[in-house]
Amino acid sequence: YKKISELSTLCGYEILFIIFSPKAKHYSFAHPSIKSVTKRFLNPNQPLYETTDAPVEAYRKVRIKSLVQDYNKVHDQLDASKEKQKAFYLA
């Protein structure tokens, strides 16, 4: 379950996972919900925004934007640090 959850979170996939035990017990995992994934499966031409829960999608977009900004900030700091290091060794 943990790996499936990580995959859906990292890649933004809609996932429905069902497994049966030897004693015919079933276990399932769905993201964002069983209803939205089955609706998408039954109608593959349906636009994604109609099956994904809007708050989840909005949060994902905001989080990705925030992570990209953080990455760019750290990358700029690294570049500045490299320039300072070059200047120090050249002096």
The label of the residue with tokens 């995959």 reads: 7
Specify the pLDDT at position 74: 95
For the chain, the domains span 1-46, 52-90
pTM of this prediction? 0.41
State pLDDT tens for residues 22-78. Answer: 888 888 888 888 887 788 778 777 665 555 566 677 788 888 889 999 999 999 999
DSSP H helices in the chain = 2-11, 34-42, 54-90
pLDDT at 3: 85
Query: In the structure, what pLDDT confidence band is assigned to residue 10 with cuts at 50, 70 and 90?
Result: confident
Class of domain 1-46: alpha beta
